[in-house]
A and B are shown apart, each in its own frame.
Chain A
């Protein structure tokens, strides 16, 4: 491993993938590979299947056809995917720190400590407060903090910049760049432009 590389050399390989719900096919014939250190941006109109594709990649939905493989990844290292969806999994009556600490406990404390992660995302000052009072942007930051407390090579992000202010969006891009530099890879569904070097774009919705 080169200096700064946290993750092994892995590649996400997708071949002939069709994703959807039940027997409704949203996107099909997808074949691409995302090597470590690069990011793939998913673009397309609403409803074209970006979120469904991310859920399928994460293993939360079964692929209707085709295969998904993470070449070079040892399953002994634990789950490989971080998925950040539309819902932030933030529950009122737990403090911000307790919420993040819980996620670190179930995902494995392999990254930053919860306190440092909160500081990194600008939530350090409100760590002890009830998470139910957070604004949408702050909740999104908390959800992103989850990515920092457990090291996993693949980040699957669904509209990560939504609800964030300009400073927050810049922070997300910085975190992504650091993740890619460490050898990780990311698939991001977004309507916005991301200032990441080495960003490949895949547009969905050309027809079944």
Chain B
């Protein structure tokens, strides 16, 4: 347990003290959301209708941005080899990294989402549903993202490839995430979408560390 917490502590320290990466991610999220009205026009009704989709796309893109700093720096300075020789299983190490990734990429986005909701003309109820759906769905994005990072960690410039690989896997998260906010079919659909989203996140967070651990071990050999 102390090893697990040690990784969480170290990665949090590195993320919080270093280079303002968290702020960059946050800014990216807000900017993507904010420039959409320039592209589609400032019509309030239209913006309110597509706002959930915009927020989710912005969140997805922002989390993709943070993928490369998950594992590549560890590989480059030799820490990944240490992880493979460490006393805790690789899956536990990856699980710790998924948690930190979520805390440093997704949580700031969720905290910043009220601002986007405001400028994209969402009403209060849609806004609360947006927060909940982001809360339920971003763990799945974090888990898939970590898996993508693990698969591409051994490739030079593989940072370009990871988003491409995990985008198809994240489509269900986007579908249910947006479906939980602005259902065309009524509140029952929102309920179903929320539950499916939660199920997806649970499954992804539970299984991704094991798949990622295998990918890392086999990629390094």
A-side residues, CB < 8 A to B, are: 58-62, 78-79, 81-83, 85-91, 93-94, 98, 101-103, 105-109, 150
Contact = CB atoms under 8 A, between A and B. Distances in A.
B216 to A, nearest CB: 11
Contact of B83 (A61, A87, A90, A106): A106
Interface string B78-99: 1101111111100001000000
Nearest to B84: A60
Interface stretch (B1-9, B51-59, B163-171): B1-9
Q: Which of B3, B18, B81, B82 has the most CB of A within 10 A?
A: B82
Nearest to B1: A105
Given A102-B10, A105-B6, A106-B86, A60 B220 contact: yes
B13 interface: yes
Given A83-B85, A105-B2, A89 B79 contact: yes
Given A85-B78, A89-B79, A101-B6, A60 B87 contact: no
A159 B86 CA distance: 21
30 contacts: A58-B85, A59-B84, A60-B85, A60-B220, A60-B221, A78-B87, A82-B85, A83-B81, A89-B77, A89-B81, A90-B77, A91-B77, A91-B79, A93-B13, A98-B10, A98-B13, A102-B6, A102-B7, A105-B2, A105-B3, A105-B5, A106-B3, A106-B83, A106-B86, A106-B87, A106-B93, A107-B3, A107-B82, A108-B3, A108-B87
A155 to B, nearest CB: 12
B85 A94 contact: no
B81 A85 contact: yes
Contact of A89 (B3, B13, B82, B221): B82
Contacts of A89: 77-79, 81-82
Contacts of A107: 3, 82, 85-87
Given A93-B18, A94-B10, A88 B77 contact: yes
Q: By CB atoms of chain A within 10 A, which of B77, B84, B85, B220 has the most?
A: B85
A106 B6 CA distance: 7
A59 B5 CA distance: 25
A87 B79 CA distance: 9
Contacts of A59: 84-85
Nearest to A56: B221
A151 B191 CA distance: 53
A132 to B, nearest CB: 10
Contacts of A103: 82
Contacts of A94: 10, 13-14
B73 interface: yes
Complex A-B, nearest 3 residue pairs according to Cβ-Cβ distance, in ascending order: A105-B6, A87-B78, A89-B78
B73 to A, nearest CB: 7
A106 B77 contact: no
A81 B73 contact: no
Nearest to B15: A93
Contacts of B88: 106
Most chain-A CB neighbours within 10 Å: which of B2, B73, B76? B2
A134 B55 CA distance: 43
A106 B86 CA distance: 6
Nearest to A62: B221
Contacts of B3: 105-108
Contacts of B81: 60, 83, 85, 87, 89
Contact of B87 (A61, A79, A86, A101): A79
